[in-house]
Amino acid sequence: MTGAILQFLEGIGLPVATAAIEQATFLPGIRIESGSLIIDPGRLLYPGDILHEAGHLALMEPERRAGTSDDAGTDGGEEMGAIAWSYAAALHIGLDVRVLFHGEGYRGDADSIVENFANGRYLGVPMLEWTGLALDQRRARELGLPPYPHMLRWLRE
């Protein structure tokens, strides 16, 4: 599972590496360093968290992404966009969404998020559309393109 996630991220051009992480991190076993994800397999508790952190980086302009280390930020819109991005990525990879939305994350709201996404209530899509990564139903229909959870591209340019 972790291998499939890392292979996907490398394939879309998001740098990842595995290495020991000695310092405390926001999510166990995951560190952001100059726009790259560093994964410590010995400390990683929830592989789906890798996709969530990758979603934060994917939404950033390339310059900001390259300069980001440790903390992806606390912007609420970016958080919702990262949730939507990671959901689309999980579907693309073929992961069970419960790997992403696990019981120890999302402030206890994982079940609610899973239910909303399962019923087509996709939070965060406006952020993906604003960054040029995906289209909502209406805009996709207008352009004759597939709507979210299809992604037009995976990284913001």
12-26, 94-108, 137-151: which has the minimum mean pLDDT? 94-108
Q: Whole-model pTM?
A: 0.95
Model confidence over 111-140: pLDDT tens digits?
Answer: 999 999 999 999 999 999 999 999 999 999
Model confidence over 38-63: pLDDT tens digits?
Answer: 999 999 999 999 999 999 999 999 99
Residues 6+ apart with CB under 8 A from 146: 135, 140
Peptide bond into 149 cis (omega under 30): yes
Residue at 129: amino acid letter? E
Domain positions in the chain are 2-143
Q: How far apart are CA 27 and CA 44, in angstroms?
A: 8
Q: Is 4's pLDDT higher than 90?
A: yes
- Report the Cα 81 to chain-centroid distance in Å: 8
